[in-house]
Amino acid sequence: MNNIVAIVGRPNVGKSTFFNRLIQRREAIVDSVSGVTRDRNYGKSEWNGKEFSVIDTGGYVKGSDDVFEGEIRRQVELAIDEADAIIFVVDVEEGITPMDEEVAKLLRKVTKPILLAVNKVDNAMREKDAIEFYNLGLGEYYTIAGMNGSGTGELLDKLVEVLPELPEAVEEENPLPRFCVVGRPNAGKSSFINALIGEDRFVVTDIAGTTRDAIDTKYNRFGFEFNLVDTAGIRRKAKVKEDLEFYSVMRSVRAIEHSDVCILMIDATRGFEGQDQNIFWLAEKNRKGVVILVNKWDLVEKDTMSARDYEARIRKELEPFTDVPILFVSALTKQRLLKALETAVEVFENRKQRISTSKFNETMLPIIERTPPPALKGKYVKIKYCMQLPTPTPQFVFFCNLPQYVKDPYKRFIENQLRQIYNFEGVPIDIYFRQK
């Protein structure tokens, strides 16, 4: 589990530049995930050996200037509720604006760590100008220049020092699968969970997962035993307008990081929208298993669109990671809910599977021999040996003479072959090429 850090502030103060700097520092080193990162507003960062999740609230504000104030206030309130620490970014060029004062007023009431970052301070003159930000009443401030990164180090040193300690995850002997149900507001998460629990609740225990009350409830039904990490309706809904996009992502982050398999519910009457995609990429980025449930299928006019067309449209949006189970369900009529659970358990098993090195070489090397990586600058890549790494999620390494010459299309080819032979449905996998 990671701490969550939210970056707040009014538009155009440089939140996104600062956010990109935070997540690239890590992504460049550790997290080179192939394909594009679709969700520009969430990432993982690491400083002094401490890892945390970062959310840039800026990317979620839509609308004209007069709409902004209400939106930003709501986002700050949500960040205050959900995050473990908040970085409030202001702009030295413009000085303190009425909107900064509004945000500061909200933040002054909070007991969580708040760090004030004065951005665009790239010379001594501006250092002096930054002094006026003491007037916001948030105490010490940190001067940074998001563009060239100066000052970020001191700010991050302080951040990791003030982040609260999270409870240690207890390793269990045979851990139960952890499923979380995620999706936009009103997709039917609560109805799905209620339908699963039914009236005869076989609830064994309620374990508070973290202080953030993503509650783990242990279920034993239909011959399945699993923990359900519930994001639906746990927290004070009144504070947040249901239509706020940011809301569903913020709520999902912790539950996703806390689970093995994400059951993503989408509303059949609305289609697979940008927000659903954001949540999907969040799960993929965290290397979690995914099952997609198209809920309210009983309300869709079947003559306009068959399940097959609908599924094809979703898969198009999921590229390049399309090996994901998609089920059409109705929480209301309880249609295919059992199948949904079965599928989630299968995905959990797929994610845990280990392939012996000898077997893996036996199947993969002949394929590579028949279709080797294309030669580059007259040099040929020879792949001699491959294995699965002993990591919690499926990762495979292929040893060769010139790993730098193996490009993304060939990695995708290898992944597709691997998926055809072994069942990794619903599970993101990583493929690396290394020098022998």
Q: With contact defined as beta carbons under 8 Å apart, do 93 and 120 qualify?
A: yes
What's the whole-number mean pLDDT along residues 17-24? 81
Residue ranges at the known binding site for GTP = 9-16, 56-60, 119-122, 183-190, 230-234, 295-298
Indicate whether 275 pLDDT > 80. no
55 and 202 housed in the same domain: no
284 and 225 housed in the same domain: yes
Compute the C-alpha angle 50/54/59, nearest 5°. 165
213 and 189 housed in the same domain: yes
- Report yes or no on 59 lying in a domain: yes
144 and 237 housed in the same domain: no
- Report yes or no on 248 lying in a domain: yes
Q: What is the share, in percent, of the chain residues with pLDDT greater than 70? A: 80
d(CA 241, CA 219): 31
Indicate whether 32 pLDDT > 50. no
- Report yes or no on 194 lying in a domain: yes
347 and 361 housed in the same domain: no
Q: With contact defined as beta carbons under 8 Å apart, do 225 and 251 qualify?
A: no
- Report yes or no on 382 lying in a domain: yes
Encoded tokens for 273: 């929208």
Q: With contact defined as beta carbons under 8 Å apart, do 314 and 326 qualify?
A: yes
- Exposed e or buried b per residue across 140-171, where buried means at least 16 C-beta atoms within 10 angstroms of its C-beta: ebbbbbbeeeebbeebbeebbeebeeeeeeee
At which of 296, 327, 351 does a domain end? Answer: 351
Q: What is the share, in percent, of the chain residues with pLDDT greater than 90? A: 27
C-alpha of 151 from chain center: 27
205 and 289 housed in the same domain: yes
**How many domains is the chain built from?**
3
189 and 106 housed in the same domain: no
pTM to 2 decimals? 0.71
Indicate whether 233 pLDDT > 50. no
191 and 153 housed in the same domain: no
For 316-353, how does the pLDDT look when each residue is reduced to its tens digit (9 = 90+)?
Answer: 988 888 899 999 998 878 888 889 989 999 999 999 99
Question: How many CB atoms are closer than 10 A to CB 233?
Answer: 11
Antiparallel, parallel or unpaired: β 50-56 and 3-8: parallel
77 and 203 housed in the same domain: no
Residue ranges at the known binding site = 9-16, 56-60, 119-122, 183-190, 230-234, 295-298
Which residues is 203 bridged to in the sheet? 219
375 and 422 housed in the same domain: yes
How confident is residue 198, by pLDDT bands cut at 50, 70 and 90? low
Compute the C-alpha angle 382/388/391, nearest 5°. 135
For 404-425, how does the pLDDT look when each residue is reduced to its tens digit (9 = 90+)?
Answer: 888 889 999 999 999 999 999 9
Encoded tokens for 20: 């990109």
Q: Indicate the average pLDDT of the chain.
A: 79
Q: With contact defined as beta carbons under 8 Å apart, do 342 and 304 qualify?
A: no
Specify the CATH number for the domain of residue 145: 3.40.50.300
Q: With contact defined as beta carbons under 8 Å apart, do 95 and 132 qualify?
A: yes
At which of 351, 385, 408 does a domain end? Answer: 351
Specify the CATH number for the domain of residue 420: 3.30.300.20
For 287-309, how does the pLDDT look when each residue is reduced to its tens digit (9 = 90+)?
Answer: 999 999 999 888 877 766 688 88
At which of 331, 351, 371 does a domain end? Answer: 351
- Report the sign of the C-alpha dihedral through residues 112, 113, 114, 120, in that order: negative
pLDDT at residue number 288: 93
- The helix/strand/coil state of 291 is strand
Q: Which residues fall within 8 angstroms of residue 74, CB to CB, at 6 or more apart?
A: 240, 241, 244
Which range marks the domain in which residue 429 is found?
A: 357-435
Residue with tokens 């930000």: 133
- Report yes or no on 173 lying in a domain: no
208 and 347 housed in the same domain: yes
Indicate whether 43 pLDDT > 80. no
- Report yes or no on 191 lying in a domain: yes
d(CA 98, CA 358): 66
Q: Which residues fall within 8 angstroms of residue 299, CB to CB, at 6 or more apart?
A: 268, 269
Least confident of 44-58, 81-95, 171-185: 171-185
Q: Which residues fall within 8 angstroms of residue 39, CB to CB, at 6 or more apart?
A: 249, 277, 278, 281, 282, 285
- Report yes or no on 171 lying in a domain: no
Residue with tokens 């011959």: 223
Please give the helix or strand (H or E) that residue 274 lies within, else none: helix 274-285
Counting Cα atoms < 13 Å in the Cβ hemisphere of 432 gives 14
Q: Which residues fall within 8 angstroms of residue 210, CB to CB, at 6 or more apart?
A: 1, 166, 167, 254, 258
140 and 231 housed in the same domain: no
Q: What is the DSSP string of 338-379?
A: HHHHHHHHHHHHHHH----HHHHHHHHHHHHHHSPPPPBTTB
Q: With contact defined as beta carbons under 8 Å apart, do 226 and 178 qualify?
A: yes
Q: Biggest alpha carbon distance in the chain?
A: 69
- Report yes or no on 169 lying in a domain: no
How confident is residue 28, by pLDDT bands cut at 50, 70 and 90? very low
